[in-house]
Amino acid sequence: MSEGQAVTTTKEECWVPNILAFACNWCSYAGADLAGVSRLQYPPTVKILRVMCSSRVEPSFILKALKDGADGVLIAGCHIGDCHYIDGNKNAEVRINNTKKALAKLGLDKRLRLEWISASEGLRFSEVIKEFTDEIKKLGQNPVKEPQLKTPESRLWRAHLLLVNRRLMFKEVKLNE
């Protein structure tokens, strides 16, 4: 570039993905904490929400996050066999797989990710965030989030999301009967 030439950046180039991570208190949140204490580098694309167990995350939380502006949602919990509530993470796996299947119909399934990260895996936590950020960058912005919500097409997406949530809740009620 010659001297004095203006640098232009498009909106897309300035865009930074917005990832919401639900991390279980006992393992993954501690893993994230370890990544921070160890000064491991990962992109500032993630906001972490602490939950007591990965099974606490309901499909409606995921759909609401996508509807309200997240480009990607990560659920992180203890490795299988390590859940502090015995089978919480196994239940979470079933639930997330069902949610993924429902989201696949809307082309949003790749925006949801489930990972097992222990308290001692700070490095793994940082790598998962890097990988997921790259994946979301390739996918681009979440089509259901603001400001596109004003268009008739995105209103339709929102209606779909509500329907998906109802179906998933109904499925879980039936499973628990």
Q: Which long-range contacts (CB under 8 A, 24 or more apart) does 168-177 make?
A: 168/59, 168/95, 168/98, 168/99, 168/102, 169/59, 169/60, 171/98, 172/95
By beta-carbon proximity to ligand FES, the closer residue of 85 and 106 is 85
By beta-carbon proximity to ligand FES, the closer residue of 45 and 118 is 118
- What is the C-alpha separation between 76 and 18, in angstroms, rounded? 16
* Identity of residue 157: W
Residues that bind ligand FES (CB under 6 A): 24, 26-27, 53-54, 77-78, 83-85, 88-89
By beta-carbon proximity to ligand FES, the closer residue of 87 and 172 is 87
Minimum CB–partner distance for residue 78 and ligand FES (Å):
3
Minimum CB–partner distance for residue 98 and ligand FES (Å):
17
Minimum CB–partner distance for residue 76 and ligand FES (Å):
8
Minimum CB–partner distance for residue 35 and ligand FES (Å):
17
By beta-carbon proximity to ligand FES, the closer residue of 17 and 77 is 77
**Tokens describing residue 33:** 């904490």
Please check whether residue 111 is in contact with residue 103, taking contact to mean a CB–CB distance below 8 angstroms.
yes
By beta-carbon proximity to ligand FES, the closer residue of 16 and 86 is 86
Minimum CB–partner distance for residue 46 and ligand FES (Å):
18
* Identity of residue 9: T
Residues 89, 94, 97, 103, Cα dihedral to 10°: -110
